[in-house]
Amino acid sequence: MDTMKVMAQRHSVRRYKSEPIPMETRDFLRGYIDDLNKEHDLNFQLFFDTRHMFNRIQRLTRAKNVSNYLALVVPEQAGGGEKAGFFGSEFTIVAQTMGLNTWWVGGGYSRAMVASDTNLKIGQDMICIIAFGYGENQGVPHKSKTPEEVSSYEGEAPEWFQQGVKAALLAPTAYNKQDFMITGKGRKVDITYEFSRYGDIDLGIVKQHFQMGAGIDNFKWA
């Protein structure tokens, strides 16, 4: 499946069907997360058929039938939020290709329950969670800035840079602010993000989208 098309199809979904995720899909996702953890020094953890991360009122309203989630647990060190955003974003794309919907949840859930589920240890940081499952709908596209508002390239921008920016604009960001700037020169690319509570996570998400759109072999991060 075309990656750009998948990114365009993925939208935040907060209300889900009660339909359980098949075992073969669960096994695939577990294997994928295990490989991701080993390769990138993460401790992401998947949980199925559990609802205690939201209270009863939330489960009836903003988080209807949410019963599966990925906890983004990383080493407690500089850059942890960016790392969680980057690889968490990769997970949402993989989930979308399997017919699953996703929702980045930065707050409003029980961090104590998630910390207990993950057996969070000293030296680890639980950044946020990603809820997933079969949505009641497919969500709606977010409002977006133009490429000119979020990027600049020294000289004529090559096709790969333009595609990377297009992909970055499909990335979910906190409050849909898209407070990032992508700059390019030759094969070097840099992305900066305004400081905020979720800025590091958003930076990782945007970087992952840009990389998937531009093609990792076409550029290097500055």
- Per residue in 152-190, pLDDT (tens digit) is 999 999 999 999 999 999 999 999 999 999 999 999 999
For 120, other C-beta atoms within 10 Å of its C-beta total 19
% helix, strand, coil for the chain, step of 5 = 40, 20, 40
- What is the residue-averaged pLDDT of the chain? 96
| Per-residue confidence (pLDDT) for residue 59, from 0 to 100 | 83
| Per-residue confidence (pLDDT) for residue 1, from 0 to 100 | 61
Place of tokens 């977010």: 142
Q: What is the pLDDT of residues 16-59, one digit of tens each?
A: 999 999 999 999 999 999 999 999 999 999 999 999 999 888 88
Percentage of the chain beyond pLDDT 90 is 92
> Which whole number is the average pLDDT over 194-204?
93
Q: What is the pLDDT of residues 201-217, one digit of tens each?
A: 999 999 999 999 999 99
- Identify which has the larger pLDDT, 116 or 2: 116
| Per-residue confidence (pLDDT) for residue 205, from 0 to 100 | 98
| Per-residue confidence (pLDDT) for residue 62, from 0 to 100 | 86
> Which whole number is the average pLDDT over 83-101?
98
Closest CA to 19 of 56, 64, 54: 64
> Which whole number is the average pLDDT over 7-17?
96
Instruction: List the end-to-end C-alpha distance of the chain, in Å, as a whole number.
Output: 30
| Per-residue confidence (pLDDT) for residue 61, from 0 to 100 | 85
Q: Is-contact 171 89, C-beta < 8 A?
A: yes
For 154, other C-beta atoms within 10 Å of its C-beta total 10
**What CA–CA distance (Å, rounded) separates 65 from 178?**
29
